[in-house]
């Protein structure tokens, strides 16, 4: 989606483009130099452009019928070096949370089976209505693939219900599988290393993560990770301590207002009211 006309007079900013990365994120590219990032602490809250701007809470449409809400703005640079000039910016409805990394795999399967790269947005260990669940939020699609996938999820033995959180998203809510209840309780207590080893490997396999990666180091309480954290934090970490913080429920509990993609004030008044089993 071009944000500027190709017939620009001299001295005017060039074209910028919005392209879809996945169900969670769209990318701004093209003439990036025209945008000045405005920060609050370490977070970008606005891109101030010469003729248009982007800001948190704004709706953008890379396609006419595909709105995205900007809740996160991330600067893209070569090699991820924050000191280099921006090569683009990602606008996301949310960052991937811990529920997506640790809890979603407890339902079984893998990312491919759950259409992670195409429709998935985030997972949650609570909703605004109940606890002790695993909820999966997706961008709704009328494509045959998604409709078939939706039917498959509803056939899960642990499936409870689905809810249309707005006109563009649907959430599937599941009970905790009996075989995963112990791991779920450990996660909620922040006791990552005390999860059964079989389920630790299941979490890694779900994402295709290696034993040398950060998630494995947290689950198996890697001495390498402990030393890295001690250097970073300039403190000593006892052997009994876990190597990741406990779940922040502001991120791990589904917040309908944060994820809501409104078309109008009228629609906003009636959102999150379509539940089916």
Distance (Å, whole) CA 155 – CA 121: 21
What would the pLDDT profile of 65-81 be if each residue is shown by its tens digit? Answer: 899 999 999 999 988 88
Distance (Å, whole) CA 120 – CA 24: 7
What would the pLDDT profile of 200-244 be if each residue is shown by its tens digit? Answer: 999 999 999 999 999 999 999 999 999 999 999 999 999 999 999
Distance (Å, whole) CA 144 – CA 249: 34
The helix/strand/coil state of 18 is strand
Q: pTM value?
A: 0.89
Mean pLDDT, rounded, for 29-50? 94
Q: How confident is the model at residue 149 (pLDDT cuts 50, 70, 90)?
A: very high
| Residue 272 reports pLDDT greater than 90 | no
Among the listed residues 67, 74, 127, 123, the one whose alpha carbon sits nearest the alpha carbon of residue 100: 123
Distance (Å, whole) CA 95 – CA 113: 21
């Amino acid at each position: 989606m071009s944000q500027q006309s190709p017939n620009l007079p001299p001295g005017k900013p060039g074209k910028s483009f919005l392209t879809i990365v996945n169900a969670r994120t769209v990318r701004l590219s093209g003439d990036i130099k025209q945008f000045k990032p405005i920060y609050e602490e370490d977070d970008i809250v606005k891109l101030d452009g010469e003729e248009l701007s982007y800001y948190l809470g704004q709706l953008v449409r890379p396609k006419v019928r595909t709105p995205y809400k900007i809740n996160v703005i991330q600067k893209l640079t070569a090699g991820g070096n924050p000191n280099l000039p921006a090569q683009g910016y990602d606008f996301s409805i949310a960052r991937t949370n811990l529920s997506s990394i640790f809890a979603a795999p407890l339902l079984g399967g893998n990312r491919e089976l759950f259409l992670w790269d195409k429709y998935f947005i985030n997972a949650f260990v609570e909703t605004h209505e109940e606890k002790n669940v695993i909820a999966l939020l997706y961008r709704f699609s009328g494509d045959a693939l998604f409709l078939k996938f939706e039917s498959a999820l509803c056939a899960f033995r642990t499936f409870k219900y689905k809810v249309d959180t707005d006109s563009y998203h649907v959430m599937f809510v599941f009970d905790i599988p009996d075989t995963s209840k112990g791991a779920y309780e450990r996660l909620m207590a922040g006791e990552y290393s005390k999860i059964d080893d079989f389920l630790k490997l299941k979490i890694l396999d779900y994402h295709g993560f290696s034993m040398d990666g950060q998630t494995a180091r947290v689950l198996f309480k890697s001495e390498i990770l402990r030393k890295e954290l001690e250097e970073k934090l300039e403190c000593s970490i006892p052997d009994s301590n876990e190597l990741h913080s406990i779940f922040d429920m502001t991120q791990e509990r589904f917040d309908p207002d944060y994820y809501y993609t409104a078309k109008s004030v009228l629609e906003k008044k009636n959102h999150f009211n379509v539940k089916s089993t």
